[in-house]
Amino acid sequence: MSDNLNYEQLSSEYNLLMNVLEVSVSKHLADEHFTCIWANDYYYQMIRYSKEEYEARFHNHPDEFFANNPEGWQIITEKVRASIANRENSCTAYIPMLYPNGEKYWVKLKSVYTDEYIDGCRVSYTTMTDITEMMQTRLEKEQHFQRVFEQVSQEQDMLMSALNVSVSKHLMDEHFTCIRANEFYYQLIGYTKEECHSIFHDHVDEFFANNPDSWNILHKKIEATIADNDDSYSVFLPMYYPNGSVYWVKLVGFFTDEYIDGRQVTYATMVNVTDMLQIQKERTIAYDNIPGFIVKYRVTPDSLLMLEASDRIRNLFDVKDPSSADPLRVLAPESRELMQEQFSHLRSREHFEATLHMKDKSDQDRWFQASFSCIDTIAADPVYLAVFIDITDVTVLRELRCKLEERTEMLNNALDKAEKANLAKSDFLSRMSHDIRTPMNAIVGMTKIAFSHIKEPEKMEDCLKKIELSSQHLLSLINDVLDMSKIESGKITPNISPMLLPELIENVVIIMQPDIKAKNQQFSVRLQNVIHENIYCDALRLRQAFINILSNACKFTPMGGSIAMDIEECAAEEADRAVYTFTFADTGIGINPEFVDKIFDAFSREYDSRMEQAEGTGLGMAITKKVMDMLGGTVSVESQVGRGTTFTVVLPVQIGRITPADIQLPHARVLIADADREVCESSSRFLEECGIPADWAVSGHEALSKAEEAHASGGDYRAVILDGQLTDISGVDTARLIREKTGDASPILAISAYDWSDIEPAAKAAGVRGFLQKPLFRSTLAASLKKYLLDQDTDQTEDVQKQSFDFTGKTFLLADDNELNREIAEVLLTSTGAVIDSVCNGFQCVEKFAGSPEGYYNLILMDIQMPQMNGYTATQKIRDLSRSDARTVPILAMTADAFSEDIEAAMAVGMNAHLAKPLDINLVIRTISRFLNR
């Protein structure tokens, strides 16, 4: 009796515990209904039927309960059958469920089979927990990953289309079905995506129905590649446009390890080579029409091997197979001797011309003017193209000689240009293919890893960060290619406007800090005689050039190395101009001497075992050189292998006026401590020019000693400025020691070229009152001393930014045809309190604004490239409306067109500012704030 009571008590307590933990527990028979013979209270709470309703409506039969949810029931039955067939003692499944009102929810179901049998049916226990929130989170993350992947794929397609390269993805089925292709694929074949789908059903064999010869060539090439166990192939194919005209393509395909529906996936690229083949055809025609013949030779150490020859050689000499013929056999003795004497020169790839005496197949004497030009090598043997002009008929010799020289030069130039162009393009495409696939591989790989760790937030965050970094790298490759294309075509013009040199340098330092910090490199920025900080220049292009140089310095400088940037101002001949010299020196691996002269060539990149991990387009330095030429400056380089590289930029600019109030300082005695003697001397010199006595030290102990001496004499320093890293002890330790010895008499300021957030808590605890960013421009030093000595805070940026972030009560009109771009802008701007009205094109934007009450919209964000009506036209129509706010409402261009001529075009139609995509949200908010607070 007591055992039964104990059992019932334990069962009651167990049920109570499961209910508290919100876990459903039920007992079932393994019959055709999976009959429920017992369940705890939470089982009925979870399915939202009472025990009585469940028994009355479903007779305790789960299959009847799942009658309106066949998907869930199928998952359960398949899992149970599989586990029983595999003789497993349990099974787990994730099941979609339906509440009585039809609302969907998810549960995790786990069944454990016991050794108990009732009426011959095995008994199992089942637990269910609600995982609806987890499944929703997983769905949202999967959707996010899909959007990221689609965006990166779109950027890759854009790059390939810009390079006129078709990229397509196919299944290895009987149709070679195309499942994805970039925009240029459809441009190349002459059909739209919709036409390919409706006419050919995306089947490549149907596209080739009117071109069976090319289809057979491609089909046989793929079969041969598979038979040879190769993973790639290439083939030249004639193709037909819809109007019947013929063009030629070079198709390169490679197989992947991906399978879809059991079919292997392959990628194919196509390039239009019609022009190249036309050049070859024209060259052949030219060869066949010259009064003579052309031969391609391989020059071995002791003989000439004939590789190819034009057909006319067979009419003159008894030559059936050029590859087995002896070229010296037809020469007269004196000409044979001459050719043998030239072997050493030909082996040295020297150009050679001579008149050669030969015997034709009729044993008649003939004289030929021969011109040998080295065009290639095979192994270590030079390959020559030799042109032989028949000058036997002396009466036409002079006329032929003139034509010969002209035509030979033309042919050689055409051949040289074609070969160089093809080589440069092939090399660039090969390199870009590798550099693009590297971040793409990281993106695809990290996406798969993230999906496999969907329940691990830390792992997911790590994957997202790496995907973001790889996306930024891919975007930088695209930007380099587009920038170089714009510069080369002369479509970029400098935007010369007032700018602050300290602000530019600060931006460059902030951008470079993460990479430099990651490699634990020492970075310093030093000023020499920099008096004028307001200059006129293109800040965007100048920053781009500096970042290109510093990125290379960081990339090719090893861990723990050093990078220094020196800025010097020199007077120019004109009073309102100055010459600035920016020197970038690193202790990196250096550049090989033979590559130094090529470093500013487009697409050039040094191939060196020391740089296997370095990636890039080879455009960074070419863009830097073009920018400097455009701005009227120069850039030069000096380098020693193993010791480092120095880039020097010399830039003459117009300077702004110095306002005396900007550098007026209180009378005070200041101590400066920095490990760099030049920083100490330049800062002290500036302070003394302003009437402030300044002492300096290069070590922490020296600074401490000077501070103690001043304190002991009753003349404490009014301010102490300490570098974060001194020669002996850190700046934080020096500050603490000064506080211990002298008390709080002097405010201590810390200076650093790095982000000081890592040392800020320790620095403040040691008595540091403020932080200064290197380099110490005069304005920076003056503003800091005013702030901490006179409580005159000249930098109100932080307060302004805090105020400008609150746009509550403001209504913005957003026009963008891209749904994803609209979503990003809406989310970011809504977080500031603003109300956002969105439209999809310029026509809707004009209509929306015209239909609103006057003053309703505080600001308009306008994309440029939109269907029906672009942003330029929409802006003009808004400005022309007959209402008071039409000419005053701020209109900001928000577009991927980011060149200076695009900015000028936006301003010309009445826009107020230009924001480049991808959007920098901080810049967007600051710009909006500037117009709202006017």
Final residue before a domain boundary, out of 225, 245, 279: 279
Q: In this structure, are 202 and 157 located in the same domain?
A: no
Whether residue 393 sits in one domain with residue 308: yes
Mutual angle of helices 539-555 and 620-631, in 10-degree steps:
150
Give residue 563's pLDDT: 93
Those residues whose C-beta lies under 8 Å from the C-beta of residue 304, and which sit 6 or more positions away, are 297, 298, 327, 328, 339
The residues, ordered by sequence, that sit 6+ positions from 489 with a Cβ below 8 Å of its Cβ are none
* Paired strand residues for 725: 730
Number of domains in the chain: 8
Burial grade of 693 (CB within 10 A; 0-12, 13-18, 19 or more): middle
Residues 782 and 904 in one domain: no
Segment among 155-169, 177-191, 370-384, 879-893 with least mean pLDDT: 155-169
What's residue 424's pLDDT? Answer: 53
Q: Tell me the β-bridge partners of 87.
A: none
Helices (H), 263-396: 274-289, 312-316, 333-341, 343-347
The arrangement of strands across the sheet holding 913-916 comes to 835-839, 811-815, 859-862, 891-895, 913-916
Peptide bond into 100 cis (omega under 30): no
**Same domain as 449, residue 333:** no
Q: Which residues contact 266 (CB under 8 A, 6 or more apart)?
A: 169, 170, 171, 172, 253, 254, 255, 256
Domain boundary among 279, 300, 328: 279
Q: Let me know if residue 797 belongs to a domain.
A: no
Q: Domain of 38: which CATH number?
A: 3.30.450.20
What pLDDT does residue 344 have? Answer: 86
Instruction: Supply 443's token pair.
Output: 């993106």
Q: Rounded to whole angstroms, how far apart are CA atoms 515 and 191?
A: 46
Query: Looking at the domain assignment, is residue 653 inside a domain?
Result: no
Domain assignment present for residue 412? The answer is: no
Are residues 147 and 206 part of one domain? no
Q: Are residues 20 and 50 in the same domain?
A: yes
Q: Give yes or no: residues 157 and 102 share one domain.
A: no
Range in 697-706, 771-780, 875-884 with the lowest mean pLDDT: 771-780
Alpha-carbon gap, residue 504 to 773, rounded angstroms: 13
The reply to whether 427 falls in a domain is: no
- Domain encompassing residue 534: 493-572+585-607+615-635
Asked if 719 and 690 sit in the same domain, the reply is: yes
Give 330-339 contacts, CB < 8 A, sequence gap 24+: 330/358, 330/359, 330/360, 331/356, 331/357, 331/358, 332/356, 332/357, 332/358, 332/359, 332/365, 339/304
Distance CA(928)–CA(834), nearest Å, equals 11
Of residues 122, 125, 121, the one with CA closest to residue 112:
125
Lowest mean pLDDT among 398-407, 419-428, 677-686: 419-428
Range of lowest pLDDT (13-22, 529-538, 743-752): 13-22
Of the candidates 830, 833, 861, the one whose C-alpha atom is nearest the C-alpha of residue 845 is 861
Q: What is the mean pLDDT of residues 205-234?
A: 91
The verdict on 559 and 665 lying in the same domain is: no
Q: What is the pLDDT of residue 369?
A: 85
Q: How confident is the model at residue 482 (pLDDT cuts 50, 70, 90)?
A: low
- Supply the CATH number for residue 626's domain: 3.30.565.10
pLDDT band (50, 70, 90) for residue 475: low
Helix (H, G, I), strand (E, B) or coil at 728: coil
Inside any domain, residue 228: yes
- Pairing between β-strand 534-537 and β-strand 352-359 as defined by DSSP bridges: unpaired
Clarify whether residues 442 and 458 are in a common domain. yes
- Does one domain contain both 331 and 456? no
Residue 743 lies in a domain: yes
Q: What is the pLDDT of residue 603?
A: 60
Q: What is the pLDDT of residue 842?
A: 94
Residue holding tokens 């997202």? 464
Whether 11 maps to a domain, the answer reads no
**What pLDDT does residue 436 have?**
62
Residue 912 located in a structural domain: yes
Please give the mean pLDDT across all residues of the chain: 81
What integer pLDDT is reported at residue 418 of this predicted model? 63
pTM of the predicted model, to two decimals?
A: 0.44
pLDDT tens by residue, 88-133: 889 999 999 999 998 999 999 999 999 899 988 999 999 999 988 8
Peptide bond into 775 cis (omega under 30): yes
**Token pair for residue 257?**
């390890």
Displacement of CA 634 from its chain's centroid (Å): 28
- pLDDT higher than threshold 60 for residue 421: no
Q: Do 772 and 858 lie in a common domain?
A: no
CB atoms within 10 A of CB 778: 22
DSSP-assigned letter for residue 151: H
